[in-house]
Structure 1
């Protein structure tokens, strides 16, 4: 009989625990230990129970994380021993493997990518999430075991964010902490952690968006109609500190200024401005709106019923103001002439010929920026920046100012938001003088008075 070949003594030595690294886990059986071996830079975990030696690498070089991995390893073995299932490598392959924050983030982003493919998440939202994870969150938490993340570590992260230069706003700090919580919630759903640690409070900073008063709304509408069909040049100043500017072709060019791009102004923009102010919708609704989502209602009241894809978790149909009907009918007539065919339900209402819906929104946003530049209305009198979203804000403000007996709940439902959001953001600029008629109105006298 051939003699069994014994393992090389050198190889055996490389797998023997380094004595000074053997560490017991406080509060757990003495036979549960972590240790290092010459053959690996990782910590290992070992536990002796039921005449079996269970051993596995933790796949981490951080002792604190190895201690947490050992606890997870112990829990898994204990559960299986109680169930009588521990013969022949019964434990999970990854029972002692550290689940890092980076790994949990990757799993979360895979899930978010699936939402993007199902059109449940916009591309820009997905990209913004990834950008923020890569910029600050992963560099801080990346290789940390999710089990090791506690209030102290979260507070350290918040303090680090608070000391960034340039300074981050309170709302941006809240967004970063919210994305951090999102990863830990995902880890909890996959049983990598038992509970989500307490988070430090960031605070709330309400920043209402700029809106347009009636005079300003008329001005941007007039300029958008005037520029429709024309090309505008986007130029850069010779000095970088001065930024860029817009002007009509043939306008005076500085000696060292350069052309960035020529932008064609479309009729869609003028229609978009009026449509948004009369329909309460968000810019994301414009992105997704197809003719199949729009129904003209002519009864006692004339309006559009907009049964749009869900936005911000809301699915209620939106009822528009009467003027939105006129704008929509004008859009349909123009598209029939331009397309040379009947409109299909799947055709988009705004910028149907754009290369993509992202491209459509970029073109509209750029055109709107040009109109604001030309009119000098890029900032409100309070210094608030105005964007396409300001048209929705204006729509809600006009109803609060000029609507009769419109309760906040009805307005919020129709605008696909909540009464709280109406009060905190949209109605923030509302002052008593804007509704002096309502303040000074009197009840009708009762017969017995």
Structure 2
């Protein structure tokens, strides 16, 4: 039978124990919540007082567990969970917390593995320096300035949460310096390379496996709208709903356009007649557009992005793409103009998604696979990889070079932070300048059909065609 120790007292069997550590007169308690044991000082030297303190500690721990809070909150990992829970509560109450996924990833992948078991009040500037060295090894590279800034934002949120709960003093909060590798500008596309991309995408879509084909089609839609609007890739367009769209039709006097091909002429007339139905422009008694009128749709997209809610503007290509998506996904709507119906009824479906509701979280990954297949992933001059963001610089350059769009107008269209002069004195609005942003020369150049040279042909498609040709030749013999 084990000898009963004077320095250990079991208050609740297998649940609460009061004990003394060597070389100290203070009593500690060890308590269990569910299947986990925790240790904490009672701060008492008298056994009776220590027993009462231990009972209170256990009661508080059980209450915290019942309220779905961490039992112990002095370690960084526990405080980090409180920060995440606060964000989750905001999301549940209907608020947007755009950075939640990113912050959670930083906490789970970097902060908890390094700081997790540390008592938050013991983290010093020296500890932060050790973390920065560890992070470089973990990432395999020096992080970019923007990455370091995000990590520091999350750490500051955790420290401030700890201060608000009296788990650390504000005076002990470590100073976080944002230092990192300067970000390089994204490699861009030329207008000609954009023509090649748009020429190759239908083939890429057609050659996808059955379950990937629709996602590829959505990427194709997404790319065309990025090229036409200059919108920021990511949430600006991926969160866009039909209810966030408005459009009008602009008509301008122009020279008579002669079209020899009868089929092409009929398509053009149908397309222009569709615009007539959506506008009050000039047309004859039979409802046909007058021959010297050019019809242009102006599509306003109310996007929510980096700079908050703003307008992005698209024109003919954006209208065509939205119409294609509406016709493809909403076969059950018995309306001649499904797009107009979706906009007027303020439909809340996201636009850039598959028919079964899957979004485009992998858009960049898929697009870069496309570029790699067609030998266009890296800029031939810089060696840097192209990304979806490359279309933004392409758009800016094209509309300025081909149509001399004013820098002020372009800044408003892209939602960039204007320079100080514009910020102080300019009062123009996007509504006032959206007609000037039509940039017909740039858009004609960007969406120009081209013959794709061998350099940008898909090796996969060529190999498949060669195999089919050999098989056919063998059969004929």
TM-score for the superposition, normalised by structure 1: 0.60
User: Contact (CA 8 Å) 1:311, 1:416: kept in 2 or not?
Assistant: no
1:375 lines up with 2:374 in the alignment: yes
Aligned in 2, Cα 1:155/1:326: closer, same or farther, shift over 3 Å?
A: same
The aligned residue for residue 404 of structure 1 is: 404
2:160 aligned to 185, 191, 196, which one? Answer: 185
Give the secondary structure class of the aligned counterpart of 2:223. helix
Give the secondary structure class of the aligned counterpart of 2:246. strand
Give the secondary structure class of the aligned counterpart of 1:232. coil
Q: Distance in 2 between matches of 1:417 and 1:349?
A: 24
Aligned in 2, Cα 1:145/1:351: closer, same or farther, shift over 3 Å?
A: same
1:314 aligned to 305, 308, 313, which one? Answer: 308
Aligned in 2, Cα 1:179/1:349: closer, same or farther, shift over 3 Å?
A: closer
Aligned residues: 331
1:143 lines up with 2:137 in the alignment: no
CA shift for structure 1 position 101: 1.0
User: Contact (CA 8 Å) 2:7, 2:19: kept in 1 or not?
Assistant: no
1:210 lines up with 2:187 in the alignment: yes
CA shift for structure 1 position 119: 7.0
Once the two structures are superposed, residues 329-356 of structure 1 have per-residue CA deviations (whole angstroms, 9 ceiling, x without a partner) of: 4544555657555443325464554333
Q: Distance in 2 between matches of 1:192 and 1:116?
A: 26
Aligned in 2, Cα 1:322/1:392: closer, same or farther, shift over 3 Å?
A: same
The aligned residue for residue 111 of structure 1 is: 86
Aligned in 2, Cα 1:407/1:190: closer, same or farther, shift over 3 Å?
A: farther
1:44 lines up with 2:45 in the alignment: no
Aligned in 2, Cα 1:115/1:226: closer, same or farther, shift over 3 Å?
A: farther
The aligned residue for residue 199 of structure 2 is: 222
Give the secondary structure class of the aligned counterpart of 1:44. strand
User: Contact (CA 8 Å) 1:233, 1:262: kept in 2 or not?
Assistant: yes
1:277 lines up with 2:277 in the alignment: no
Whose relative contact order is higher, 1 or 2, with alpha carbons under 8 Å and at least 6 apart?
Answer: 2
Once the two structures are superposed, residues 100-135 of structure 1 have per-residue CA deviations (whole angstroms, 9 ceiling, x without a partner) of: 21111101111233455547246xx54443333223
Give the secondary structure class of the aligned counterpart of 2:305. coil
Greater helix share, structure number: 2
Once the two structures are superposed, residues 27-78 of structure 1 have per-residue CA deviations (whole angstroms, 9 ceiling, x without a partner) of: xxxxxxxx45487884526489xxx999957x99xxxxxxxxxxxxxxxxxx
RMSD: 4.3
The aligned residue for residue 248 of structure 1 is: none
Give the secondary structure class of the aligned counterpart of 1:307. strand
User: Contact (CA 8 Å) 2:245, 2:300: kept in 1 or not?
Assistant: yes
2:322 aligned to 304, 328, 346, which one? Answer: 328
TM-score for the superposition, normalised by structure 2: 0.57
Q: Distance in 2 between matches of 1:119 and 1:207?
A: 33
Once the two structures are superposed, residues 250-306 of structure 1 have per-residue CA deviations (whole angstroms, 9 ceiling, x without a partner) of: xxxxxxxxxxx8645755444332211121222323322121111013458852221
User: Contact (CA 8 Å) 2:208, 2:216: kept in 1 or not?
Assistant: no
Q: 1:403-422, aligned counterparts within 5 Å?
A: 404=404, 406-407=406-407, 411-419=410-418
Q: 1:26-425, aligned counterparts within 5 Å?
A: 35-37=26-28, 42=39, 44=41, 46=43, 99-117=74-92, 118=94, 120-121=96-97, 126-164=100-138, 166-171=140-145, 172-190=147-165, 192-195=167-170, 196-228=173-205, 230-232=206-208, 263=213, 267-281=217-231, 282-298=233-249, 303-308=298-303, 310-321=304-315, 323-333=317-327, 335=329, 341=335, 342=338, 343-344=341-342, 345-346=346-347, 348=349, 350-356=351-357, 359-362=358-361, 364-365=363-364, 368-381=367-380, 382-399=382-399, 401-402=401-402, 404=404, 406-407=406-407, 411-419=410-418
User: Contact (CA 8 Å) 1:99, 1:145: kept in 2 or not?
Assistant: yes
User: Contact (CA 8 Å) 2:245, 2:302: kept in 1 or not?
Assistant: yes
Aligned in 2, Cα 1:169/1:312: closer, same or farther, shift over 3 Å?
A: same
Q: 1:19-30, aligned counterparts within 5 Å?
A: 20-21=23-24
User: Contact (CA 8 Å) 1:296, 1:303: kept in 2 or not?
Assistant: yes
Aligned in 2, Cα 1:199/1:36: closer, same or farther, shift over 3 Å?
A: farther
CA shift for structure 1 position 217: 0.7
Q: Distance in 1 between matches of 2:30 and 2:321?
A: 74
User: Contact (CA 8 Å) 2:74, 2:167: kept in 1 or not?
Assistant: yes
User: Contact (CA 8 Å) 1:100, 1:143: kept in 2 or not?
Assistant: yes
